[in-house]
Homo-oligomer: A and B are copies of this chain.
Amino acid sequence: MPYLPGRFINLALQLRVKNWQSYIPIVPTLARYRRDDLSHDIVAGIVLGVITVPQAIAYAFLAGLPAEAGLYASLVPMVIYAVFGSSKHLVVGPVAITALMVAAAVGEYAPRYDQSYLGVTTVLCLQAGIFLWLLRLSQMGGLVNLLSHPVITGFVNAAALLIIISQLPALTGIGPGDALDPYHQLLNLARRVDELNPAVVAVGIGCLLGLWLVRRYSVALLRLLRADVEDDHPVRRTGPMVVAALAAVVVAVWNLDAELGVAVVGQIPSGLPELTRPPFHWQLWTDVAPVSAMIAVVSYVESYSIGTTLATRERTRVNSHQELIALGAANIGAAFSGAYPVAGSFSRSSVNYQTGARTQVSALVCMVVIVLTLLFFTPLFARLPHAALAAIVMASVVGIVDLMSMRRHWRIHKEDSLTEFATLATVLAFGVETGLITGVALSIAFFIRTSSRPHIAIVGRIPHTEHFRSARRYDVETFPHVAAIRIDENVYFGNANQVESKLLKIIQRRPGTRHVLLVMSAVNLVDVSGLEMLYRLNDNLAAMGIKLHLSEVKGPVMEHFEATDFTMRLTGSVFFTTDQAMRDLAERT
């Protein structure tokens, strides 16, 4: 089979020919760097750092990891992406959805394999990174397309609900129990409602209120101070920083942790991450591989779509191949620096763009802020209450819930609505992996089902033109001895039998037919099953004394035909245009 090796050779040639700089996009960026850019990048980087620190701690908490894991995830991976990524504004680090997937995996596998959380998370990162690189090497990055728009929408909605439910224990002070599914988590809360800690609830609700106030009124407040502020000014995103600081101060001043049992983050070890080595435990590797693959796909889809959105605003593009390399490298970097799987963050990338970052240098500035935090400021977070982190996480995901999309899509494509609903329901009921697989399987099934019921139209000439349209929709000229039939679908295994059956039905209803002309303008693919059907159709029509002709066969389809003796066996002719075919056939009898 020279097929796959051939593709790898092609790829190798392509890699060699390409400029090495295109693999390290920061090099051309720095080469063209202007002094003017620096002040913008420094401002953006500092704002980014201030916003990243509380988010990173909150998402580590969501993933069930200690706070430093979140900070480490914002350090090495972010820098690696800045060096290799093709987007100037994308900020890579801890995000809510992968944190949720990590939480499920750590909860399940860390006790089973007697590993610390690091054992599991570093394997997840390393596998996700390798998986992304494999997608690039095998040129199968297109596989992520299988996560169709409805699957992603359904999944994101379900994940947001799961995340909100997972934060309720921290927001109420009720013990989380050990249930993994949302129903039992809610049941656990209801059953143990007497454990509710009023102080924790007060802190949590205060934080939620604070986040809402900053989001709602910070811009208005700024406008009172100075005039020209955009509606989407980054100050709206400073809520997490503000409420985290206030909550820590409140806890410290009234000593809420010791006196009223408000859970706090506790001492964060200061200092930079050390080199970690993912454990090579075969059973653990095979067990978490499916989760890693899912994390890789989800983080790639999320990062690529954010990168594309920001790039089109600047009229540039991100390179999907390079993104696989950069995101893979970032995750592998996470594996060796004690972090957990990373992806492009929507909120932080937006802030980076809006504060005027010009290049990836802003991420390097952000790195300095995080390094300083790790070296000197970790003690400040010791009395940060869990309830504040829960509030930050909930506020960050509540904006992405969009349950109306199903209703909107219903009008366009009912199958897509059903897929979205099924993905949502199965993610909630059976977890992220099962849900995504169900969604993808449904997308494919509905697509095959739709294309297995092809639209087949008898066409005729629109008088005095060279245009041929459906005889049902337009008033067209036809001949009784010629059936001109347009097949509006690829002819492949999914519909070859239906196409054959529909064609035979049409011909049986028109007893005078001597010539059948298949108009192939909408047929982009004929596979072996389709070709077998055409052979059979040709023979069966010949037995009835009817000739089979083709027109407007596309180049790639004609090449398939010419690799066989099909055009030789054809009882009729292959015409370039339907117009020529109809002129010719009109005169035959």
A441-485 vs B, CB cutoff 8 Å, 1 = contact: the mask equals: 001100111111111000000000111001001000000000000
User: Are A528 and B455 in contact, with the CB atoms below 8 A?
Assistant: no
Q: Could you say which residues of chain B place their CB within 8 Å of the CB of A490?
A: 451, 490
Query: In chain A between 522 and 578, which residues have their CB closer than 8 angstroms to a CB of chain B?
Result: 522-525, 527-529, 531-532, 536, 540, 543-544, 554-556, 560, 563-564, 577
User: Are A494 and B447 in contact, with the CB atoms below 8 A?
Assistant: yes
Nearest-neighbour CB distance to chain B for A481, whole angstroms, equals 18
Q: Could you say which residues of chain B place their CB within 8 Å of the CB of A346?
A: none
Q: Could you say which residues of chain B place their CB within 8 Å of the CB of A521?
A: 521-522
User: Are B312 and A543 in contact, with the CB atoms below 8 A?
Assistant: yes
User: Are A444 and B450 in contact, with the CB atoms below 8 A?
Assistant: no
Q: Could you say which residues of chain B place their CB within 8 Å of the CB of A418?
A: 1, 3
A28 contacts chain B at the CB level, 8 A cutoff: no
Given contacts A412-B560, A455-B556, A473-B555, contact A312 B142 (CB under 8 A): no
A86 contacts chain B at the CB level, 8 A cutoff: no
Among B416, B466, B492, B543, which residue has its beta carbon within 8 angstroms of that of A447?
A: B492
Q: Could you say which residues of chain B place their CB within 8 Å of the CB of A145?
A: 452, 493-498
Given contacts A142-B449, A451-B525, A467-B577, contact A149 B411 (CB under 8 A): no
Q: Could you say which residues of chain B place their CB within 8 Å of the CB of A315?
A: 543-544
Q: Could you say which residues of chain B place their CB within 8 Å of the CB of A473?
A: 555
User: Are B412 and A531 in contact, with the CB atoms below 8 A?
Assistant: yes
In the complex, what distance in Å separates the CA atom of A320 from the CA atom of B149?
A: 35
Q: Could you say which residues of chain B place their CB within 8 Å of the CB of A455?
A: 524, 554, 556
Among B411, B448, B524, B564, which residue has its beta carbon within 8 angstroms of that of A564?
A: B411
User: Are A312 and B540 in contact, with the CB atoms below 8 A?
Assistant: yes
A139-179 vs B, CB cutoff 8 Å, 1 = contact: the mask equals: 00010011111110000000000000000000000000000
User: Are B493 and A148 in contact, with the CB atoms below 8 A?
Assistant: yes
Q: Could you say which residues of chain B place their CB within 8 Å of the CB of A450?
A: 525
Tell me the interface secondary structure of chain A in the complex: helix
User: Are B493 and A146 in contact, with the CB atoms below 8 A?
Assistant: yes
Q: Could you say which residues of chain B place their CB within 8 Å of the CB of A451?
A: 490, 524-525
User: Are B149 and A528 in contact, with the CB atoms below 8 A?
Assistant: yes
Nearest-neighbour CB distance to chain B for A263, whole angstroms, equals 42
| Nearest opposing residue in chain B for A457, CB measure | B555
User: Are B525 and A522 in contact, with the CB atoms below 8 A?
Assistant: no
In the complex, what distance in Å separates the CA atom of A228 from the CA atom of B30?
A: 91
A501 contacts chain B at the CB level, 8 A cutoff: yes
Nearest-neighbour CB distance to chain B for A307, whole angstroms, equals 12
Nearest-neighbour CB distance to chain B for A14, whole angstroms, equals 16
User: Are A504 and B544 in contact, with the CB atoms below 8 A?
Assistant: no
| Nearest opposing residue in chain B for A521, CB measure | B521
Q: Could you say which residues of chain B place their CB within 8 Å of the CB of A540?
A: 312
Among B412, B494, B554, which residue has its beta carbon within 8 angstroms of that of A528?
A: B412
A302 contacts chain B at the CB level, 8 A cutoff: no
A1-37 vs B, CB cutoff 8 Å, 1 = contact: the mask equals: 1010000000000000000000000000000000000
Q: Could you say which residues of chain B place their CB within 8 Å of the CB of A554?
A: 455, 488, 522
Q: Which of A411, A453, A555 has the most CB of B within 10 A?
A: A555
Given contacts A312-B543, A444-B448, A522-B524, contact A412 B563 (CB under 8 A): yes
A414 contacts chain B at the CB level, 8 A cutoff: yes
Among B3, B467, B494, B528, which residue has its beta carbon within 8 angstroms of that of A150?
A: B528
A236 contacts chain B at the CB level, 8 A cutoff: no
Q: Could you say which residues of chain B place their CB within 8 Å of the CB of A68?
A: none
Nearest-neighbour CB distance to chain B for A240, whole angstroms, equals 30
Nearest-neighbour CB distance to chain B for A151, whole angstroms, equals 8
Among B149, B467, B495, B524, which residue has its beta carbon within 8 angstroms of that of A489?
A: B524
Nearest-neighbour CB distance to chain B for A535, whole angstroms, equals 11
Among B527, B555, B564, which residue has its beta carbon within 8 angstroms of that of A148?
A: B527
Among B412, B444, B536, B544, which residue has its beta carbon within 8 angstroms of that of A444?
A: B444
A-B contact pairs, 28 of them (CB 8 A): A3-B418, A145-B493, A145-B494, A145-B495, A145-B496, A145-B497, A145-B498, A148-B493, A149-B528, A149-B529, A149-B532, A150-B493, A313-B543, A315-B544, A411-B564, A412-B560, A413-B531, A447-B493, A447-B527, A451-B490, A454-B524, A455-B524, A455-B554, A466-B466, A466-B467, A522-B522, A522-B523, A522-B554
- Sample of 17 further A-B pairs with CB below 8 A, known A148-B493, A451-B525, A522-B522: A3-B414, A142-B453, A142-B498, A150-B528, A150-B529, A312-B540, A317-B504, A317-B508, A320-B501, A411-B564, A412-B560, A443-B493, A447-B494, A451-B524, A488-B524, A521-B522, A522-B524
